A and B are shown apart, each in its own frame.
Chain A
Amino acid sequence: MAELKKNTNKNVELKGAKKEDIMSPWKVVKHRLRRNKLAMVGLYTLLFMIILAIFGPIVQKYVFGITMEKIDLYNISAPPSLKHPLGTDEVGRDILTRLMYGGRISLTVGIVAVSISVVIGSIIGGISGYYGGVVDGIIMRLVDIFMCFPFFPLLLMLAAVLSDYKVDPKYRIYFVMIIIGILSWTGLARIVRGQILSLREQEFMQAAEALGLRDRRKIFRHLLPNTFASIIVSATLGIGSAILSESALSYLGLGVTPPYPSWGQMVQVATDYYVMQYEYWKWIPPGVCIFLTVMAINLFGDGLRDALDPKLKR
């Protein structure tokens, strides 16, 4: 009898566990993502980069006493050694440390720029898709205009203006983030608009209307969450391209300026023929970092898209 009871208990527990599994759509996504090895490689690489960027500089500073500005006059342009695992640059600063700081900046740029573009893109896309008609027409033409801007020349121009106004190098990075963010919301707005156009015709929106909800609530509480899947995917992939934009800008000397390092700006030394040929440790590590991070983000984003796509059943 006791055993029977135990058994039923176990059954109940099992049932509970199974229920837990189908509980939220997010758990399904997590499960599917876990099975995608390539995406997991991407995720772990990305996590490794993030951890390195956050904790690396702290360890370097308090354990080895090396900061990004500290100059080692005895080892200028020194190749990798025990003291400087990735060597030093032309003024004797530790490359590994600068790489970590650069990672902080590059990743922050990516995340902040994408956050800005996600906020702008989903609000504008949501409004445009929900109201449709004239509002939609005006907003979409605005998006078309934004899309017509040659992205890179515009970035260069704005960056040049920043240089001209002698903005403190410390704050320049924030301008770079904002500029990239403001110029890259259009794609997302289109995606969100397209989805909301079809979602608002669904029956549950009529039901929401019959509940007496305000438009604002209908758009942002009821419609937008239904588009989160595509927003997340497009944002993840967007981080990669934002990092690339920042690198390119900094490489051209218009993004982050010394003494603050960023990956793109560190690769810039390769413009020197001599460095390019003989001092590989100065430009290969930041290049590899850009490559690995963007690659990891793209792999993860692709995996996420597959995992979030309900039509894709394996």
Chain B
Amino acid sequence: MGELLSIKNLKTYFYTEDGVIKAVDDVSLSIREGETLGVVGESGCGKSITAMSILKLIPNPPGKIVDGEIIFDGKDLTKATDEEIRKIRGNKISVIFQEPMTSLNPVFTIGDQIIEAIVLHQNMNKEKAREKAIDMLKLVGIPRADEVVDAYPHELSGGMRQRAMIAMAMACNPKLLIADEPTTALDVTIQAQILDLMRDLKNKTNTSIMLITHDLGVVAEMADHVVVMYAGKVVEEANVYEIFKNPMHPYTLGLLESKPILNQDKDRLNSIPGQVPNPLNMPEGCYFHPRCSKAMDICRREQPELCSVKDGHRVACHLYREVK
């Protein structure tokens, strides 16, 4: 399994009137072929911005990729021209958005929108593309696909729309599928179906998935490898078993503790005290130290670096520096 995508020291900043917001600050991660990478973190920690940076979907201005490399298929996407990136979008890398209700254009039928993607990237004529669109809809488990293809988005339920979105994203057999909180807006049963579907598709087509979520349950179910982000930085990275069995960073620990567990007699869930710091006014040292129960002196002064503590398990915390 070779590396499909590797992000090296990516920095995406937003230049606002109040100052520079470092939404993504020196993030490195990589996705191998056929692997599912879970990116976890609180709201506003830069998960989505990292993903959108890959396809240069950052609104510019105010956003800008300041530094770093995004190597996809041996090519640096940060240096790609608009024309090149356009050929990759929707073709080799597709995105599923969070809101299925608003991510489809209300004035076109589902079919029109899938066909558009296929015609654009695959040199197919309309009739063939239509057949392919129906096939894709069948593949994502939509009943009566040949009727739904002519339906408008408002006629479908949220789950159906999300399936249609996935069909659209998968229509060109992308190598990488970026799923930006694909199940957040859906109820739990539909959520499970959608996740099953994505896993099936992954196995069938050997597509890599970058799964952005704040739901650790989803991560446990789907991901092979997990990256935990906090305030624009990667704080911990390991494979999925390691993360759940042996979490190291206090933030990851906190996230895992704030998750409900069956058969446990507990009235309230634990929470991590405090909030994500204001990105305009980041604390000195480790960004997490004001909320960290294990904060030491050094945490207030020095920012920890991401170090390997075990094979494939990296963590950015001063607690583990000695271990190494």
Residues on A with C-beta less than 8 A from B120 are 211-213
Residues on B with C-beta less than 8 A from A84 are none
Closest Cβ of chain B to A3, distance in Å, is 26
Q: Is A209 an interface residue (CB 8 A)?
A: yes
Known contacts A211-B90, A212-B87, A214-B86; A203 and B97 CB within 8 A of each other = yes
Q: How far is the CA of A22 from the CA of B154 in the complex (A)?
A: 9
Q: Is B33 an interface residue (CB 8 A)?
A: no
Closest Cβ of chain B to A228, distance in Å, is 8
A204 nearest CB neighbor, chain B only = B105
Can you list 13 pairs linking A and B with CB atoms under 8 Å apart? A22-B155, A23-B152, A24-B152, A203-B99, A206-B57, A206-B97, A207-B165, A209-B89, A210-B95, A211-B120, A213-B116, A213-B120, A226-B106
Residues on B with C-beta less than 8 A from A226 are 105-107
Interface of A is mostly: helix
Closest Cβ of chain B to A103, distance in Å, is 35
Q: How far is the CA of A169 from the CA of B320 in the complex (A)?
A: 92
- Having A207-B97, A210-B55, A212-B85, one finds 19 other A-B pairs with CB under 8 Å, namely A22-B155, A23-B155, A25-B107, A203-B103, A204-B104, A204-B106, A206-B103, A207-B95, A210-B57, A210-B95, A210-B97, A211-B94, A211-B117, A212-B88, A212-B120, A213-B116, A214-B86, A221-B116, A226-B107
Q: Is A153 an interface residue (CB 8 A)?
A: no
Q: Is B271 an interface residue (CB 8 A)?
A: no
Which of A23, A25, A210 has the most CB atoms of chain B within a 10 A radius of its CB? A210
Q: Interface size (B, Cβ < 8 Å)?
A: 28
B100 nearest CB neighbor, chain A only = A203
Q: How far is the CA of A209 from the CA of B56 in the complex (A)?
A: 10
B55 nearest CB neighbor, chain A only = A210
Known contacts A24-B152, A206-B97, A207-B97; A212 and B121 CB within 8 A of each other = yes
Closest Cβ of chain B to A207, distance in Å, is 5
Q: Is B16 an interface residue (CB 8 A)?
A: no
A210 pairs with B94, CB closer than 8 A: yes
Residues on B with C-beta less than 8 A from A206 are 57, 97, 103
Closest Cβ of chain B to A202, distance in Å, is 6
B151 nearest CB neighbor, chain A only = A23
Chain B 251-279 interface mask (CB, 8 Å, partner A; 1/0): 00000000000000000000000000000
Q: Is A225 an interface residue (CB 8 A)?
A: yes
Known contacts A207-B104, A210-B55; A25 and B94 CB within 8 A of each other = no
Within 186-216 of A, Cβ neighbours of B (below 8 Å) are at: 202-204, 206-214
Residues on A with C-beta less than 8 A from B105 are 204, 207-208, 222, 226
B99 pairs with A211, CB closer than 8 A: no
Q: Is B91 an interface residue (CB 8 A)?
A: yes
Q: Which 6 A-B pairs have the closest CB atoms?
A: A212-B89, A211-B90, A210-B95, A212-B90, A203-B102, A212-B86
B101 nearest CB neighbor, chain A only = A203
Chain A 219-235 interface mask (CB, 8 Å, partner B; 1/0): 00110011010000000
Chain B 123-145 interface mask (CB, 8 Å, partner A; 1/0): 00000000000000000000000
